Amino acid sequence: MGELINKEADILGKWVGFYEGFGEEIINISKINNRYVARKITGDQYVPSGEITFQFDTNLDNCKMQFANIGFKNPYFKSVRFLD
């Protein structure tokens, strides 16, 4: 984990994310127990609004991003990592 990531930062609330091929989408990050969960407010043809787009634990580890086929078919989570 790089020194630039502040694990104590308040990351809750609405954010603008950039998704390759779709541009900007609004997400909302909430904390549920020991995990941060980001749900899409603005969805796309793969992962619609209201669905989890990514989640990670409070240590900023075990980050998983949700992917799916068009129409939110066969959704699955894939492990990803934060950039240092």
List, for residues 23-61, the tens digit of each pLDDT value: 899 999 999 998 999 999 999 999 999 999 999 998 878
Asked if the structure places residue 68 within a domain, the reply is yes
How many structural domains are present in the chain? 1
Q: Which residues pair with 60 in a beta bridge?
A: none
Report residue 2's pLDDT band, with 50, 70 and 90 as the boundaries. very low
Structural domain that includes position 17: 13-80
Asked if the structure places residue 5 within a domain, the reply is no
Asked if the structure places residue 7 within a domain, the reply is no
Asked if the structure places residue 22 within a domain, the reply is yes
Asked if the structure places residue 6 within a domain, the reply is no
Compute the residue count for the chain: 84
More confident site: 6 or 44: 44
**Token reading at 82:** 């934060």
Beta strands in the chain (DSSP E): 13-19, 23-32, 35-40, 52-57, 63-69, 73-80
